[in-house]
Amino acid sequence: MNSDFSFKKKQHPKEKASVISLATFLYIFEFIRKGRRKTIEYDDLYEVMDKFQANELGDELEKHWMDRQNKTPKNI
């Protein structure tokens, strides 16, 4: 994969959605409607939200892993 490739996607609608829109999933309605009308293409996709970036999830997984290792008794 070419890491030099960069394409700015649209901001994920959940990041700017209201409380009501979040509770009812209305923030994703436009994407669903677009998918019903035509095939979803790369340009239709949204940017991955910060909390779902691989580095964020990896750090969280490592923290939980270390916590679990510290709580587990050592068997020799």
Q: What pLDDT does 6 receive?
A: 58
pLDDT in tens, the chain (76 residues): 455 555 677 877 887 888 888 788 887 888 889 899 999 888 888 888 877 778 877 888 999 999 998 887 877 6
In a domain, 5, yes or no: no
Q: What pLDDT does 5 receive?
A: 54
Domain that holds residue 24: 13-71
Distance CA 19, CA 23 (A): 6
Distance CA 45, CA 11 (A): 9
Residue type at 64 in one-letter notation:
H
In a domain, 29, yes or no: yes
In a domain, 7, yes or no: no
In a domain, 26, yes or no: yes
In a domain, 42, yes or no: yes
In a domain, 53, yes or no: yes
In a domain, 34, yes or no: yes
Q: Helix, strand or coil for residue 72? A: coil
In a domain, 76, yes or no: no
The single residue listed with the structure tokens 């990896």 is 58
Q: What pLDDT does 26 receive?
A: 80
Query: Sign of torsion, CA 24 27 29 35?
Result: negative
**DSSP H helices in 1-76:** 19-24, 29-37, 54-71
How many domains is the chain built from?
1
Q: What pLDDT does 1 receive?
A: 46
